Amino acid sequence: MSGFDNNPFADPVDVNPFQDASVTRATRGAVDGIQEYNPFSTELKDRSDTTIPISAVSSQPAVLQTSVEQSSQISAATAAGQANLIKQQEELERKAAELERKEQELENRASRNPGVTDNNWPPLPKFFPLKPCFYQDFEVDIPEEYRRLCKRMYYLWMFHCVTLFLNVLACLAYFTVDSQYGVDFGLSILWFLLFTPVAFICWYRPVYRAFRSDSSFSFFFFFFVFFFQVAVYIIQCVGIPKWGNSGWIASISMININLAVAVVMMVVAGFFTVNAVLAVMLLKMVHSKYRRTGASFSKAQQEFSSGVLTNRTFQSAAATAAQGAFSRD
Kindly report the number of other CB atoms within 10 A of residue 218's CB atom.
21
Q: Give exposure, 43-65, as e/b (b: 16+ Cβ within 10 Å).
A: eeeeeeeeeeeeeeeeeeeeeee
Asked if residues 238 and 248 have their Cβ atoms less than 8 Å apart, the reply is yes
Please, what sign has the CA dihedral across residues 154, 155, 159, 161? Answer: positive
Angle, CA 244 vertex, CA 206 and CA 274 arms, to 5°: 55
| CA 294 to each of CA 150, 166, 207: distance values in angstroms, whole numbers, following the listed order | 18, 40, 16
List the pLDDT tens digit at each of the 329 positions of the chain: 444 455 555 555 555 555 556 555 655 554 454 455 555 555 444 444 555 554 444 454 545 555 666 667 777 778 888 888 888 888 788 777 777 766 776 666 555 544 456 788 888 888 888 888 899 999 888 988 899 999 999 999 999 999 999 999 999 999 999 888 899 999 999 999 999 999 999 999 999 999 998 888 889 899 999 999 999 999 999 999 889 999 999 999 999 989 999 999 999 999 999 999 999 999 999 998 888 766 555 555 565 565 544 545 544 544 555 455 445 54
Predicted pLDDT at 128: 83
Residues 80, 116: Cα–Cα separation, whole Å: 50
Residues 244, 272: Cα–Cα separation, whole Å: 13
Q: Give exposure, 22-35, as e/b (b: 16+ Cβ within 10 Å).
A: eeeeeeeeeeeeee
Predicted pLDDT at 102: 67
Predicted pLDDT at 323: 57
Residues 297, 134: Cα–Cα separation, whole Å: 27
Predicted pLDDT at 245: 93
Any idea how long the chain is? Answer: 329
Predicted pLDDT at 84: 83
Residues 163, 192: Cα–Cα separation, whole Å: 9
φ, ψ at 121 (rounded to 5°): -135, 135
The one-character DSSP state at 202 is: I
